[in-house]
Structure 1
């Protein structure tokens, strides 16, 4: 049996690894982005000079041959679901690894990757896993096609950023989310002046409650980033390259780079032209077993839209760990143990420059009816902890943490077990996950300051 996986991100590669653990079937992974799987969340550190690209690969190049996972570098031009065939681009090749004598003797693994042309451009499959990820959301602004306008998601985007920022002094970032702040930090390390256009009244206020948003806003401004709130991009101006932008506030801001960071969308455009019955909406629609409406076709990761999302989750969630869980889940099903996708309590984490952020459960920007909140903020430090709880029962519903770390298992357990807010506050030190020598925090209703 041949299993073909389209996409070599965290979802696709996790599926390949777990299928190999349980089965001896043939596995083919197709990617047009890179030869090998890499950590997408660490791309920024390559640009900032903290790492080199080869540091981003969790597995050595020999890992794939050893585990008989065939890597194809190719663009998928067409999928015929009725015939179970995939048409690949003319420049397709297979990535293999042949260790040298020195490597065999010393077990040192330098680069000895081979690229072999694929004879047949039509590949058959028995089961297909679509793990095509997401792509930056692009607007429709005048001047968007100018050189110097780009998003940031793929390895190719990183290469383009290197080219677009060579010798420049000013950049404008459109959007106030996690990708936007990462891009701002990257540019800031190269002493490029950064202006961010944020349509909300404070940073990420559509996601963060007021206190958290204000704290993040001040933290970013302290790093020298020019935040323009209640401001939208109107047009991008220049001859062949970006020269300036015009905003909804009537401002003209000189710049040589425009970074579009207005979110990502499922990467499904190449499927839209197929004259098949694959069910597409905003993403590839799947049931709770990650099965599409077509037999032997599955979808996982950022490209997925859940027909019936698990409790407390959204229909589309483009998060690293949900891709990993989906990869593990679909591997179980394909290997004979049909398993439903269960991501557990919602969780996410990020950094705003050096301000750490964690969220668990349900902590929306505006407090819903029937929900109360406990919010503690350090009087002098950039530290904030919020706990939402049911107004009647007192059961905790969610946590936010800024400037401090909480233990995942403890917070998830308290939410799952519907622990009362009084009990959680009394035992809050159990959730503290700060490294040794970091200050630890205790909370109570009566003495919130430390």
Structure 2
């Protein structure tokens, strides 16, 4: 594999911008082009549903400072739509016809908010949360006494609910599952989140779906499957995100069920010299049996840093375990690993009622995932337990010295 002279990155989110910076840090001196539809320079997403919605800041966490790209000779092209990729010619083509030749191509196109296909979905005023503009606009709506209906009890829905209550809004969260975050956390731990939100005045409508959005021209309510209707001044649809694979599909790249671009352990796609990272990458992960596609902040950042070496001729598998964090009211947490609560055994260390605990999910005696809630001293040990595939004793997890169990 010869050294590349021209690398093009499509996607100006955290993954793409991190990869561009890492390439320069590794000494790559060739042509480097970073293309994206966003009008602002690359920024991270976690603050959108946290500090920005809470009113603590107006700025996200920028991936790099404003001068970074020019100083490192990175051709950052914002507000740029890529219309296609000519693989045979090794060219990326913008909507206006501008072509960018490449020796290596990196796809980091991210995700877009999913929408509900129900009557009224076209009404004005239905909000999603994916961009800085989304967050700033939504924050203006979260004022005292406003009736906010959030469709979706996942991480975004729960974090927005907490921010809305902090602003004094009346909040109702609707989800067809029996508990918020149920698929990720299972009955016991998800119940902690249900209860903390209820204690802060959130109204739950669980186990019921949305059949329509109501209103004349603009949304003014939500109709539920049980026949009830929720009046609303603000409606947020937070039902997950879909990987933006349209460009990859048009290129003829192999896609992976249930979504994403199929990549190998080294983040290579099915096309020579084309890689994919971040939300769209469905990776054959060295530590898991199935393909893994992760939409969280750390995955975008870490894959961006990692893929730089492989773009420059390396062959290093990406091995990092998924990691994410969330802050809601006075409940902070970090989650490491990949669990299936429907299959894995839950072991809890600490006090669920006090909301100070560590939850472990075990499969065949091995820690598949660990989540520390308002307990911050054992993060390194938890990471090593998850990454080490060490067989553990449940009683030791509950009361023993975690560091001594790392093998």
TM-score, normalization: structure 2? 0.87
**Which residue among 381, 394, 406 is the counterpart of 1:410?**
381
Give the secondary-structure state (helix, strand or coil) at the position aligned to 1:29: strand
Q: Which residue of 2 aligns with 1:11?
A: 15
TM-aligned CA distance change 1:426 to 1:251, over 3 Å: closer
Give the secondary-structure state (helix, strand or coil) at the position aligned to 1:196: strand
Aligned partners of 1:166, 1:399: CA distance in 2, in Å? Answer: 36
Q: Which residue of 2 aligns with 1:366?
A: 342
> How do residues 422-437 of structure 1 correspond to structure 2 at under 5 angstroms?
422-425=395-398, 427-428=400-401
Indicate yes or no: 2:193 matched with 1:222: no
Of the structure 1 ranges 227-236 and 394-403, higher mean CA displacement relative to structure 2 is found in: 394-403
Of the structure 1 ranges 235-244 and 8-17, higher mean CA displacement relative to structure 2 is found in: 8-17
Give the secondary-structure state (helix, strand or coil) at the position aligned to 2:105: strand
TM-aligned CA distance change 1:382 to 1:301, over 3 Å: same
Aligned partners of 1:283, 1:162: CA distance in 2, in Å? Answer: 31
TM-aligned CA distance change 1:367 to 1:150, over 3 Å: same
Aligned partners of 1:259, 1:419: CA distance in 2, in Å? Answer: 43
| TM-fit CA distance, 1:198 | 1.6
TM-aligned CA distance change 1:379 to 1:75, over 3 Å: closer
* Structure 1 unaligned regions, length at least 5: 91-119, 432-450
Aligned partners of 2:179, 2:331: CA distance in 1, in Å? Answer: 16
| TM-fit CA distance, 1:396 | 4.3
Q: Which residue of 1 aligns with 2:221?
A: 244
Give the secondary-structure state (helix, strand or coil) at the position aligned to 1:206: helix
* Structure 2 unaligned regions, length at least 5: none
Q: Which residue of 2 aligns with 1:353?
A: 329
Aligned partners of 2:152, 2:187: CA distance in 1, in Å? Answer: 18
Aligned partners of 1:359, 1:427: CA distance in 2, in Å? Answer: 20
| TM-fit CA distance, 1:342 | 1.3
Cα contact 1:171–1:258 (8 A) shared by 2: yes
> How do residues 196-207 of structure 1 correspond to structure 2 at under 5 angstroms?
196-207=173-184
Indicate yes or no: 2:74 matched with 1:69: yes
Indicate yes or no: 2:170 matched with 1:193: yes
Aligned partners of 1:185, 1:6: CA distance in 2, in Å? Answer: 34
Q: Which residue of 1 aligns with 2:285?
A: 309
Q: Which residue of 2 aligns with 1:445?
A: none
Q: Which residue of 2 aligns with 1:86?
A: 92
**Which residue among 17, 36, 39 is the counterpart of 1:34?**
39
Q: Which residue of 2 aligns with 1:232?
A: 209
Indicate yes or no: 2:119 matched with 1:142: yes
Q: Which residue of 2 aligns with 1:95?
A: none
Of the structure 1 ranges 188-197 and 143-152, higher mean CA displacement relative to structure 2 is found in: 188-197
| TM-fit CA distance, 1:229 | 1.1
Aligned partners of 1:270, 1:145: CA distance in 2, in Å? Answer: 25
| TM-fit CA distance, 1:51 | 0.9
Q: Render the CA deviation track for 1:216-246: whole Å, top value 9, x for unaligned.
A: 1110111111111111111001111011111
**Which residue among 374, 392, 395 is the counterpart of 1:420?**
392
Q: Render the CA deviation track for 1:93-113: whole Å, top value 9, x for unaligned.
A: xxxxxxxxxxxxxxxxxxxxx
TM-aligned CA distance change 1:383 to 1:367, over 3 Å: farther
For the aligned residues, what is the CA RMSD?
A: 2.6
Give the secondary-structure state (helix, strand or coil) at the position aligned to 2:230: strand
Aligned partners of 2:117, 2:325: CA distance in 1, in Å? Answer: 30
Aligned partners of 1:299, 1:259: CA distance in 2, in Å? Answer: 30
Cα contact 1:291–1:297 (8 A) shared by 2: yes
Cα contact 1:188–1:194 (8 A) shared by 2: yes
Cα contact 1:19–1:332 (8 A) shared by 2: yes
Give the secondary-structure state (helix, strand or coil) at the position aligned to 2:84: strand
TM-score, normalization: structure 1? 0.80
Aligned partners of 1:164, 1:267: CA distance in 2, in Å? Answer: 28
Aligned partners of 1:5, 1:223: CA distance in 2, in Å? Answer: 44
Q: How many residues align?
A: 392
TM-aligned CA distance change 1:121 to 1:389, over 3 Å: closer
| TM-fit CA distance, 1:315 | 2.4
| TM-fit CA distance, 1:145 | 0.9
Q: Which residue of 2 aligns with 1:100?
A: none
Aligned partners of 1:130, 1:397: CA distance in 2, in Å? Answer: 29
| TM-fit CA distance, 1:357 | 2.2
Of the structure 1 ranges 410-419 and 218-227, higher mean CA displacement relative to structure 2 is found in: 410-419
